[in-house]
Amino acid sequence: MVTPDAPEPSDADLLRSHVAGDAAAFGLLFQRHKDRLWAVALRTTCDPEDAADALQEAMISAFRRAKDFRGDSAVTTWLHRIVVNAALDRLRRRPARSVSWSGDPDALETLLAQDGRGEAAPFIPSPRADSVDTRLDVDAALRLLPAPQRAALVLVDMLGYPVAEVAAILGLSEGTVKSRCARGRARLLPYLAHLRGDSAAGGNRAVTDAVSPEGGGG
Amino acid sequence: MSGLRHPEQRHPDATALAEYRAGLADGRRGRRLAAHVVSCARCASVSDQLAAVSSALSSVPAPPMPDLVERRITAALATEAAGLDSASAPTRPKRHVRLPRPALVASAVAACLVLFGVVFGLTRSPAGPASSAAGSSATSASSPLAGVAAPAASKPVFVVTASGTRYQPATLATQVRAQMAARYGGTNSAPANPGALQGAARPSGAAPGAVPSATLAGCVLHLTKQVPPSLVDRATYQGKPAYVIAVPDRVWVVGPDCTASSPDLITSTGL
């Protein structure tokens, strides 16, 4: 969760000051939460250009709509909602790129290698715990998810928001958020289960074998 | 017997297990799955792997906002605060270096360029996001409105010239080499680092470089595989508007609507 770590005015104070005409207040609010909001936009769109555009749209929108904020959620929740909506909206307006590529050659190779799903999974590079490799694989894998599913999973698993808050951000029930996350995890399992964070990856059996519903049943 | 009484109680698929783990399987289905997972090593392993997926996702550090994105948005907010609608900002680029979008977006362009730099730098730098982005964002964090006066003052990866050259297929390589030589004194002096072009000596009479649009930047860096180009010239090719993009050993000619995902490539040749 975003913690208002600045001692002075709360987020709500800043928003009120902004509505009251304080020209600097909204900028301070943006400064306070920019990294989180950026991460949300970037992970949801999987594209830095789209993320920057979406975030700017979102901030302008929030700036203009601040007076409509009723305080029935945290200011951060409200800001996140606007950012996620802007990001999803931008993706809807750019449907042409079925495979969106950040421009990184390694990411592209990973993406292409994984395109064949189950078959290609064994060719995934060795599961080094190196964080750069992890991130590349995660970036590539996230693109495989439908955007609404990705938005939920990014907020819950990547950024660590509580399900209840993600439900408020996305305007969904908690059950729907959990369901989207569960489906997203299952979808990513063939691509990411080899990345066990810190713990040793040794001893993994072949993932594709394990997830097949037919495999050796009965 | 294995203790499973019904055929449908064969191994549940990963989605069912993920839903179970998320607390979505209740009642009889939940009990059945619970009983299965504790007695089936295979499904217990899949369940562990689902946990590993979450763990892999959570282990990726959140990238800090690149400095230029911050400046761009701060500038946009300052414009709002000044009561100006960004859409009606009167600033217009000069004709000979026409940009596809209004000038406010120029800062966005620079932002995206650095963004590219940051993102791609990160993929090569095991040091992680902190080294490249955090340091630069710290400077402007102290003054939220820094960059408003000169939103495009930051250094882009490259600039766009408008030499007026009429490129032709037969003479393309020669013309490109001449342009590069005129601008940088040789074809082998491609900038080693982003921003070097800004300080490069220009021959008198050459058009000053313009900051490219985000779309064009995406197009160019896509073609050059993120190598800062030696030349991006807005000109004509066979009489039609085109961008001529060159690195020391290659040139691309693209249409005006080139984007990273749809390069609109007219021709490309080695130099």
State whether B58 and A157 contact (CB < 8 Å): yes
Q: Which of A42, A105, A134 sits opposite B56 (nearest CB)?
A: A134
- Using the predicted structure, report yes or no on whether residue A124 has a pLDDT greater than 70: no
Residue B146 in domain = no
State whether B22 and A179 contact (CB < 8 Å): yes
Range of B72's domain?
A: 67-141
* Residue B184 pLDDT class (50, 70, 90 cuts): low
- Using the predicted structure, report yes or no on whether residue A132 has a pLDDT greater than 80: no
User: What does CATH list as the number for A105-198?
Assistant: 1.10.10.10
Write out the two tokens for B95: 């004709």
Residues B176 and B266 both lie in one domain: yes
State whether B60 and A158 contact (CB < 8 Å): yes
The residues pairing with B240 across neighbouring beta strands, listed in sequence order, are B237
- Using the predicted structure, report yes or no on whether residue B156 has a pLDDT greater than 70: no
The answer to whether B92 touches B103, Cβ cutoff 8 Å, is yes
Residue B134 in domain = yes
pLDDT tens sequence across B202-214: 333 344 567 777 7
Q: Which of B18, B45, B53 sits opposite A192 (nearest CB)?
A: B53
Per-residue confidence (pLDDT) for residue B226, from 0 to 100:
76
Region B173-194: mean pLDDT is 63
Which residue intervals of B13-158 are DSSP H helices? 14-21, 27-39, 41-58, 67-81, 104-124, 129, 135-141
pLDDT tens sequence across A13-47: 999 999 998 888 999 999 999 999 999 999 999 98
How far apart, in Å, are the Cα atoms of A156 and each of A162, A177, A180, B57? 6, 9, 10, 9
Shortest Cα–Cα distance, A78 to chain B (Å): 18
Domain positions in chain A are 11-93, 105-198
Q: What is the DSSP string of B8-38?
A: GGS---HHHHHHHHTT---HHHHHHHHHHHH
Residue located via tokens 């001449």 = B178
Per-residue confidence (pLDDT) for residue B9, from 0 to 100:
53
Q: Do the interacting molecules here have an ipTM over 0.90? A: no
Residue A180, judged by CB atoms within 10 A of its CB (0-12, 13-18, 19+), counts as buried
State whether A157 and B120 contact (CB < 8 Å): no
* Residue B55 pLDDT class (50, 70, 90 cuts): very high
> By three-state DSSP, how is residue B113 classified?
helix
Cα–Cα distance, B256 to B253 (Å, whole number): 10
In percent, the amount of chain B with pLDDT more than 90 equals 23
B225 vs A115: which has the higher pLDDT: B225
Chain B positions touching A53 (Cβ under 8 A) are: 108, 214
* Residue A137 pLDDT class (50, 70, 90 cuts): confident
Cα–Cα distance, A65 to A67 (Å, whole number): 5
Region B128-153: mean pLDDT is 36
Q: Spelled out in words, what is the top-level CATH class assigned to the domain A11-93?
A: mainly alpha
Q: Which of A138, A186, A217 sits opposite B56 (nearest CB)?
A: A138
Q: Which of A27, A105, A131 sits opposite B225 (nearest CB)?
A: A105
Residues B24 and B102 both lie in one domain: no
Residues B207 and B261 both lie in one domain: yes
State whether B214 and A175 contact (CB < 8 Å): no
* Residue B44 pLDDT class (50, 70, 90 cuts): very high
Point out the domain boundary residue: B90, B107, B141.
B141
Overall number of domains in chain B: 3
First to last CA, chain A: 45
> By three-state DSSP, how is residue A117 classified?
helix
- Using the predicted structure, report yes or no on whether residue B196 has a pLDDT greater than 50: no
Chain A positions touching B55 (Cβ under 8 A) are: 195-197, 199
Q: What is the mean pLDDT of chain B?
A: 69
pLDDT tens sequence across A154-209: 999 999 999 999 999 999 999 999 999 999 999 999 888 777 654 333 333 333 33
Query: Considering only alpha carbons, which residue of chain A is nearest residue B20?
Result: A182
Residues B127 and B75 both lie in one domain: yes
The pTM of this model reads: 0.52
Per-residue confidence (pLDDT) for residue A7, from 0 to 100:
62
Q: What is the mean pLDDT of chain A?
A: 76
B96 vs B53: which has the higher pLDDT: B53
- Using the predicted structure, report yes or no on whether residue B24 has a pLDDT greater than 60: yes
First to last CA, chain B: 73
